[in-house]
C-alpha cells in the first residue's frame, strides 16, 4: 500500500482518481488547492503526488518548484488539461516525473503510478544498501538531499532534468549507458525513439561539467569518465 496525495481542484476528477487508487489498495489524501497541497506534501510522508497544474491560488508549477527547491524527492505525476509542448517541457524541467493530459484513462494513470512507485522503491533499496545521499565520481559531486551539484569544488546550477540525468551517470561511473536507459531514468515515459533529447541534455552537462567527463560510445550510448 502506498500513501498518495492528489492535488486537484475539480471535485469530480479528484474523487474519480481517489476512488480508483483506493480500490487498488492505496491510501489517498485530496487537497483542493496548491497551498494546502504543498503543506501536506512537505509535512507528511507521501509515496507519490498526483498534481494538477490549473489550481486556484498557487498553481501546480509553483507547487512543483517549491517541492523540489526544498529538497522533496517524492515522485510527482502532473495531471492537467494543458497539453502543449511548452507546458510539458515546463513540467519536466520543474522536476515532474511524469505527465498526463486530461481526459485520461484510469488504467493508464494506474500504470504510471505503479511504475513511479516501483522506481522509488528500487532507489530506496539502493540507498539502504549504502548509496547514501551524496554521489561522487571524477570530481563531480551530487547531493541528493539538497539537490546541489558541484564540479571540482565549484557549485553548478543544473535544471531538474540535468540533475536526474547526471544522477544515473554517477550511479554507474565508467559504465556505458544506452540512450534507452537514460531516457527511462530521466524521463520515464514514452519518447520518440528517434528523439535526440538525450544527446541534447548530455551536451548541456558537457558544457557545465566539462566535455571530457562524458564519452560517446558509438552505436551504444554514453559513459561517465570516472
Same domain, 101 and 116: yes
Same domain, 146 and 93: no
Helix count and strand count (H, E) for the chain: 8, 11
Same domain, 218 and 182: yes
Q: What CATH number has the domain bearing residue 209?
A: 1.10.10.10
Same domain, 123 and 137: no
pLDDT category of residue 39 using cuts at 50, 70 and 90: very high
Higher-confidence residue: 90 or 55? 55
Average pLDDT over the chain, rounded to an integer: 85
Question: 101, 127, 153 — which closes off a domain?
Answer: 127
Q: What is the pLDDT of residues 165-220, one digit of tens each?
A: 898 898 888 999 988 888 877 775 555 556 788 899 999 999 999 999 999 999 89
Same domain, 123 and 11: yes
Same domain, 116 and 138: no
Look at residues 98, 103, 85, 2 and name the one whose alpha carbon lies nearest to residue 50: 98
Same domain, 69 and 98: yes
Same domain, 115 and 194: no
Q: How many folded domains does the chain comprise?
A: 2
Same domain, 154 and 77: no
Q: What is the pLDDT of residues 77-117, one digit of tens each?
A: 998 776 566 676 777 777 888 888 888 888 888 888 888 88
Higher-confidence residue: 144 or 56? 56
Same domain, 29 and 118: yes
Q: What is the mean pLDDT of residues 143-169?
A: 86
- Which stretch, 125-134, 155-164, 204-213, has highest mean pLDDT? 204-213
Q: What pLDDT score was predicted for residue 126?
A: 52
Same domain, 113 and 204: no
The residue count for the chain: 226
Question: 127, 144, 163 — which closes off a domain?
Answer: 127
Q: Give me the domain span that covers residue 172.
A: 133-224
Higher-confidence residue: 171 or 6? 6
Question: 127, 143, 172 — which closes off a domain?
Answer: 127
| Phi, psi values for residue 202, rounded to 5° | -65, -35
Other beta carbons less than 10 A from residue 84's beta carbon: 9
Same domain, 220 and 144: yes
Q: What pLDDT score was predicted for residue 123?
A: 65
Instruction: Read off the C-alpha cell for 43.
Output: 509535512
pLDDT category of residue 128 using cuts at 50, 70 and 90: very low
Chain Cα centroid distance, residue 72: 11
Q: What CATH number has the domain bearing residue 45?
A: 3.40.50.2300
E strands, 11-74, are: 27-31, 48-52
Q: How far is CA 55 from CA 13, 43, 71, in A?
A: 13, 20, 22
Amino acid at each position: 500500500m502506498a500513501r498518495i496525495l492528489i492535488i486537484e481542484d475539480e471535485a469530480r476528477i479528484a474523487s474519480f482518481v481517489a476512488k480508483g487508487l483506493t480500490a487498488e489498495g492505496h491510501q489517498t489524501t485530496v487537497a483542493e488547492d496548491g497551498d494546502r497541497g504543498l503543506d501536506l506534501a512537505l509535512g507528511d510522508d507521501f509515496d507519490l503526488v498526483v498534481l494538477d497544474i490549473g489550481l486556484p491560488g498557487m498553481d501546480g508549477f509553483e507547487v512543483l518548484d517549491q517541492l523540489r527547491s526544498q529538497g522533496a524527492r517524492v515522485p510527482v505525476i502532473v495531471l492537467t488539461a494543458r497539453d502543449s509542448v511548452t507546458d510539458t517541457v515546463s513540467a519536466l524541467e520543474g522536476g515532474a516525473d511524469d505527465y498526463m493530459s486530461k481526459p485520461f484513462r484510469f488504467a493508464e494513470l494506474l500504470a504510471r503510478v505503479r511504475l513511479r512507485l516501483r522506481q522509488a522503491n528500487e532507489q530506496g533499496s539502493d540507498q539502504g544498501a549504502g548509496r547514501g545521499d551524496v554521489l561522487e565520481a571524477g570530481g563531480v559531486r551530487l547531493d541528493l538531499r539538497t539537490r546541489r551539484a558541484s564540479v571540482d569544488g565549484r557549485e553548478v546550477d543544473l535544471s531538474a532534468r540535468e540533475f536526474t540525468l547526471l544522477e544515473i551517470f554517477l550511479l554507474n561511473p565508467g559504465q556505458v549507458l544506452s540512450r534507452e536507459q537514460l531516457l527511462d531514468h530521466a524521463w520515464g515515459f514514452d519518447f520518440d525513439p528517434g528523439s535526440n533529447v538525450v544527446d541534447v541534455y548530455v551536451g548541456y552537462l558537457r558544457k557545465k561539467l566539462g566535455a571530457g567527463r562524458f564519452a560517446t560510445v558509438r552505436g551504444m550510448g554514453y559513459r561517465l569518465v570516472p
